[in-house]
Structure 1
Amino acid sequence: MKTYLILIVLSFILYSCNQESEKLNSLSNEWELVIEDSIQVDFMGEIWMGTFENGKGIVKDIPSEAVLQFDSTGKLLVNKILPKDGPGKIDWFEGLIVDEKGEIYASTSFNNIYHFDQDLNLIKTLEMPFAGEARGGMRNARNLAKWNNKLLLWYPGRDGISPYINHFYRDYPLLELFDISSQTSTPLIKTPTTSKFSSDEFFNRPYLQFTIESDSLYLTFSNEELIHVYALPDGKWARSFSFSPSDFKLYPGQKEPVTYEQMMTMSEARITGIYSDPKHLILTYEGGIDSETFVQYELKNRKNFHRYAEFNTSFLKVFSFDLGRWSNEIKIPAKVDLILNIESSDKSFYALRNDEFLGEEQDYITFYKLKLIRK
């Protein structure tokens, strides 16, 4: 009798597992990107970075050093000119995040990390224990995240090591885990052997971006087709997997460093953003521009920079943690410029409109309201 009951229970478990497996397999991982609406913010400028979280957008303007905050209707809530010099000086932001309380952290390359309240009033200036060595970076790079009252950030410079030396990415830790309470920092994450940057060959210098979901860190080098996964808090590498892009033009590895002259012969592909929610990883990237097109249309000349969007296709892909596979490759329209953030696959998000590409001059900034729709 006991054996009979055990068999019934086992049969039920197997049936439930099969049902769940069939349910997962029947789920679609095909998506489309739609423009739902647009909003206008009463400001003119050149937006370098920003985010949109918890119903509010925050963007940083280059010429004026202004930081703006606006809501989902486009209403301008805050317009602050941050001082460049003297008492209360605010250094140039390299990373920008909003935490679970709605408070804001901004990292820099110059020791300081700024902690603002929800209205962009400075609460406190935190200090990294050593000087940073990075100078400049990718537009709106996602290289700052909060985890367990700590900040994980791209901040090279430990022991005075510059990120511009040969094989920096092969030989040195990539990130810093900064304790907000003690203002101490621990080096974290080494390049795994699965990455091309762990080899002796030279490639174009990458930009790092990452996202944290639960206790997993998903890290990318901008010019590599892999996602590298690490476990927190120890930063132990777990695995690497490809996002299999259809169009991703790269410089091949070589025996000597890539020169400036080489970089002026094509536009290399790059990952432009990485986002996550508990069920999905979302990646945006550009395919790059081949040498023939780059030279033919004189794209190395500043006067033609606005034409990059004509030839450099942008894409978006969604990885389902449940299904363990990537979605279809979605083309992002050329008129969509800087994506501020993607909080979740089921929430609308905002992106700057590329007015230069459209050839339109306005006395306000336009943001598209976008949504991912599962087919």
Structure 2
Amino acid sequence: MKIKTYLFPILVIALFSGSCNLFQSNSGQYELVVLDTLNIPFSGDIHAGTYAHNTGLIYNYQSGEYLKFDSLGNVLANKIIPTVGDSGLYYVNGLKIIENGNILAKSIKGEIGLLDEELNLVKKANMPFPNGSLDLKRNQNAINVYKDELLLFHPGRNNKSPYELGYYRDNYLLEKLNPSTGVATPFLKLSPKSQYQESLHFEPPTALISISDNSLYFVFNKEPLISKYDLSNNGEWVNSIPLDSEDFVQVKGQKLPLGNDGSVLVEGEITNLFALKNGFAVVYIDGLLKEPGPGQKIPGKQLKIYNYETGWSAPIELPFNLLFLLNFEQENKAFYGLINPKTLPIDNNQAQVLKYQLASH
């Protein structure tokens, strides 16, 4: 997929948008207000991050550096964990801070590390079969905890390839891992409303999951459909909610796996999923056709909230230079977003985290 042709104007806009402290939603329903800017000593790219229980965490794959910070940007812990060996973790793209302050780190190889509050690797488990989807996408919401078991996206059980026709229709979506025994069992079936039920080839997806109480929300990054499952009833499917974005660009399903025919310049993608008390929130990019229709603009990240009583909020435009959100819990609570280090000055040696608040109108 060729995207370089439009990256330069996006980066230019990002440099200007990064200096603003107010971003307004399309309808005026919400304003995205910057409450604070945290400058944290951390150099290089950032491949994963999260924020929970009043602490944040960021990670760089090349250096193996993990850094933990508080709500004011103070460094709480800093550690380098090697990427190989028994005491290492290779390319972590999923982080989860659990209630006791410990941290789960999921690597693309199927390693799951348990880090203590000082970022020491105290335990490492390995999935019993290889990950069939070696996607290098950063910061996947692909691991969670439910009743002392780990739920994670790790396709490829029984040496089956997730790139085969009908894989997600014919197999389970997640694995449930008992961290004490190392036993993994397949879990969760595909929504009956999903496009992946069809006997067509689609662009290979990755999955995002998020849990609130007994509700698990699941979405493929390339499908604008968010599905709810009831964990108290063995993961029974409850419903699926379309994203409700007419501009979400997809490569159409095909009988032969020919991929993008050139009509799609940038695919639409859901990049964050957050389970809420009575719904969920997503961050997404609409994408761009090679020959865009009237009014279609350069795509930027948008936050959208779904409430089961009131439906979808208006899309809330996020800054162009936002890499990803670290958390989102509810509309009236502050949350944090990470600025893309590549949009900061070239000699910068700090990570920039913005503290946001939604102001309703």
TM interval, shorter chain, is: 0.7 to 0.9
Provide the residue aligned with 1:311 in structure 2: 298
SS state of the match for residue 266, structure 2? coil
Amino acid across the alignment from 1:41 = I
Aligned AA (1:226)? L
Amino acid at match of 1:50: G
Residues 87 and 158 of structure 1: CA distance in aligned 2, closer, same or farther (over 3 Å): closer
* Maintained 8 Å contact 1:109/1:133: no
Give the residue type in structure 2 aligned to 1:333: P
Of the candidates 307, 312, 326, which is equivalent to residue 320 of structure 1? Answer: 307
Separation (CA, whole Å) in 2 of partners of 1:335 and 1:86: 35
The normalised TM-score by structure 2 is 0.84
Q: What are structure 2's unaligned runs of at least 5 residues? A: 1-27
Distance 2:270 2:257 in 1: 21
Determine if contact 2:102/2:116 at 8 Å carries over to the other structure.
yes
1:93 aligns with 2:92: yes
Change (3 A) 1:132 1:324: same
Gaps of 5+ in 1: 1-28, 294-309
Give the C-alpha shift of residue 78 in structure 1.
2.1
Q: Please state whether the residue corresponding to 1:58 is helix, strand or coil.
A: strand
Instruction: Give the aligned residue type for 1:239.
Output: N
Give the Cα separation in 2 of the matches to 1:370 and 1:320.
20
Residues 91/40 of structure 1: CA separation in 2 closer, same or farther (3 Å cut)? same
**Would you say 1:346 and 2:343 are equivalent positions?**
no
Q: Distance in 1 between matches of 2:343 and 2:258?
A: 30
Q: 1:45 to 1:355 in 2, by over 3 A?
A: closer
How far apart in 2 are the matches of 1:84 and 1:282?
A: 33
2:247 corresponding residue in structure 1: 247
The alignment covers a number of residue pairs equal to: 329
SS of 1:311 mapped into structure 2: coil
TM-score by length of 1: 0.81
Question: Counterpart in 2 of 1:11?
Answer: none
Structure label with greater radius of gyration: 1
Helix, strand or coil for the counterpart of 2:288?
Answer: coil
Distance in 1 (alpha carbons) for counterparts of 2:138 and 2:86: 28
Q: Greater RCO between the two (CA within 8 Å, min separation 6)?
A: 2
Q: Does 1:181 align with 2:168?
A: no
Residue pair 1:280, 1:345 contacting (<8 A) in 2 also: no
- Aligned-residue RMSD, C-alpha: 2.2
Instruction: Note closer, same or farther for the CA distance 1:90–1:264 as it changes in structure 2 (3 Å cut).
Output: farther
> 1:244 deviation in Å?
0.4
Whole-Å Cα distance in 1 between the matches of residues 323 and 334 of structure 2?
16
The sequence identity of aligned pairs, in percent, is 31
Worse overlay, 151-160 or 277-286: 277-286
Matches of residues 103-118 of structure 1 in structure 2 within 5 Å? Answer: 103-118=102-117
Q: In structure 1, what is the equivalent of residue 10 of structure 2?
A: none
CA contact (8 A) 2:165 2:200 kept: no
1:215 alignment counterpart: 214
- Give the corresponding residue for 1:335: 321
Match of 2:288 in 1: 289
Deviation digits for residues 178-233 of structure 1, max 9, x if unmatched?
Answer: 12233211101121221111101222111211111221111111122211111115
Task: Give the counterpart of 2:351 among 343, 365, 371.
Answer: 365
